[in-house]
Amino acid sequence: MKIREPKGIITSESPDIHWGFLNIRDKVVLDLGCGINSEFTPTPVYFLQERKASKVIGVDGNPQSYEWFKQNYNVQHFIPHMDMVDRHEKFIMYMDYYKPQVMKIDVEGSEIMMNAIEYKHFDGIDEIACEYHNLSCLLSIEHILENNGYEINYYKFDHIDIDYQGVIHGKKIKE
């Protein structure tokens, strides 16, 4: 069994704690599962305003999140989509169309669909951070990242076994 040593501990859903390790300054970010949370700043707002991403494509299947973004956050560098990312074809569609340099994935179990994505779709993506929700999802994401040339780090939730739920972060190894 693989021993996964966490690089950090996630103690909150606040985006600076949950996703603060991502290097997104001046980069295009594909934010899958960008929904609003009444307690914290939405990740697209955090990525653009605090971390200075050049563009954020936010995808979420919650109609309330989508409407909130349309009414409260209409900026040139944010593109909201109301969509459930529940099939690998949808991952591919957003990856290929927007050509992100960074992907943040928090799609409540649908991340396992990434195991069906061919390697060519990962071209140009420097970093991928994915919240996983069970061991099968973790193993699937590990496999994808390792086979696409990413160095892997793990972030553990302070109250959950790292093999059950956490965030896996892949950073492309430069050749």
pLDDT for res 39: 81
Domain formed by 6-172, architecture: 3-Layer(aba) Sandwich (3.40)
pLDDT for res 75: 79
Write the pLDDT tens digit of every residue in 103-133. Answer: 999 998 889 888 889 989 999 999 999 999 9
Distance separating alpha carbons of residues 86 and 108, to the nearest angstrom = 10
Is 17 strand, coil or helix? Answer: helix
- 16 backbone φψ class: left, alpha, beta (φ>0; ψ -120 to 50): alpha
Write the pLDDT tens digit of every residue in 41-80. Answer: 899 999 999 999 999 999 999 998 888 888 888 778 999 9
Write the pLDDT tens digit of every residue in 134-153. Answer: 999 999 999 999 999 999 99
Domain ranges of the chain: 6-172
Distance separating alpha carbons of residues 25 and 1, to the nearest angstrom = 36
User: Based on the number of CB atoms within 10 Å of its own CB, is 173 exposed (0-12), middle (13-18) or buried (19 or more)?
Assistant: exposed
Angle at 119 between CA 25 and CA 97, to 5 degrees: 55
